[in-house]
Every structure is written in C-alpha cells, then in structure tokens.
Homo-oligomer: A and B are copies of this chain.
Amino acid sequence: MADKTEKTGAVATITSETGACQEEDLSYGVRTAETLLRLFPVGLCVAALAVMIKDSESNEYGSLTYSNITAFRFLVHANGILAGYSLLSAAFTAVPRTMTMSRAWTFFLLDQVLTYLILAAGAVATEVAFLTYKGDVAVTWSEACGTYGQFCKKATTSIIITFLVVICYVLLSLISSYRLFSKYDAPVGYRNKGIEIVDLGS
C-alpha cells in the first residue's frame, strides 16, 4: 500500500515537472507575443506623428500647417505619449519577471487610459478632417481641401495609422484586463454554473 502511494507520488512529480516545462515554454511564447504587440504601436505612432508633423502646404491663397488645427496638435501629442509608453511597456514585458498584483493593476489602468486617449484623439481628428473636406454651411465654415489637397491627404493618412494604433490598444487593454481579473475569484452570485435561486420575498 505504502509502495503504491510512493509510485503514484513519483508519477505525480514527473507529471508536474513536465507541466512546469510546458508552462515555461508557453510563458515564453505569451511574453514574446505581448512584447511584439506592444512594440508594433511604437512604429505606428512614430509614423502617424511624423506624417502629421510634416503636414504643411503653402499656395497662393495662404498656408496651412498641422499646428494651426487644435485637433491635429492633439493627435500628435497623443501619438507621442503612446509611442513612449509602448516602448517602455514593451521593454518591461520583454524581461521575464513576476507579475504582481500592483503591476497587473498598473498595466491595466495605463492601458485603459491610453486606449481612451488615442481613441479620443483619433475621433476628434477624424471629425476635423471631415470638416476640412466638407465644411459646414450653416456655421459658415468653408471646406479647405479644395485649396489644400495635399494637406488633407497627409492628415487622413496620419489618422488611418492612428486607428491601427487604436486596434492594437483595444487588444492590449483586453489582455491586461484578462491578466488582472483572472487573478481574482468570480464575484458572488455569478459563481454557480447551475440555476441560481434567490428569495425575492425577503
């Protein structure tokens, strides 16, 4: 009987060791994937930022640069902030380390805030680009793309790249919220898989 227990114990140890090795490999894969997903927006943000910063057109009617339009300045700043954060967080993720609760919370909160920031910047710039294309007769805002065609094209390119960053960040904030909340127990009242009976008479 004692022998059998020992044998079972030995088998359990071997299984757990194999499991540990597999976990290590998988951990390496997961970390690499996340690092790449954090590095990708660095390039995109720098591209969106560079295209927008160089966006300037002069002709016989006057000149227009990105810095004349608040929404485009906001887009440049947002892309700058996200490029910096993406690089730092990628560097942090690349090195294997323990994901403590406070680190998981920090990643979660920063990812969420920056997703909201880049989404807002993208939406605002899209609206202003729309106004430069179409204008608004009722408010006497004339369209500007008839005279500044190149300017509008470059601005649109920068906005499209920004929305690719938004997609990356939606995925990243999904990953970081999964990593944070999977550490917690399921909330009370949602734990059972069966039918939940609650006395409504009380």
Chain A residues engaging chain B, CB cutoff 8 angstroms? 23-24, 26-28, 30-31, 62, 64-65, 68-71, 96-100, 104, 112, 116, 119-121, 123-124, 126-128, 130-132, 136-142, 144, 170, 177-200
Kindly provide the distance from the CB of A29 to the nearest chain B CB, expressed in whole angstroms: 9
B187 touches A30 (CB 8 A): yes
A178 touches B189 (CB 8 A): no
Given the contacts A23-B189, A69-B136, A182-B184, A96 and B200 also touching, CB distance less than 8 Å: yes
B127 touches A70 (CB 8 A): yes
B188 touches A185 (CB 8 A): no
Tell me which residues across on chain B come within 8 A of A24, comparing CB atoms.
Answer: 189, 198-199
Give bound CA distance, A193 to B187, whole Å. 21
Tell me which residues across on chain B come within 8 A of A70, comparing CB atoms.
Answer: 127, 130-131, 136
Give bound CA distance, A144 to B192, whole Å. 58
Give bound CA distance, A59 to B84, whole Å. 49
A198 touches B144 (CB 8 A): no
Interface centre among A24, A131, A141, A189 (most CB of B within 10 A): A189
Tell me which residues across on chain B come within 8 A of A191, comparing CB atoms.
Answer: 23
A187 touches B179 (CB 8 A): yes
B196 touches A186 (CB 8 A): no
Give bound CA distance, A91 to B144, whole Å. 48
Tell me which residues across on chain B come within 8 A of A200, comparing CB atoms.
Answer: 96
Tell me which residues across on chain B come within 8 A of A116, comparing CB atoms.
Answer: 119, 170
Tell me which residues across on chain B come within 8 A of A198, comparing CB atoms.
Answer: 24, 27-28, 96
Interface centre among A30, A137, A138 (most CB of B within 10 A): A138
B136 touches A68 (CB 8 A): yes
Tell me which residues across on chain B come within 8 A of A62, comparing CB atoms.
Answer: 138
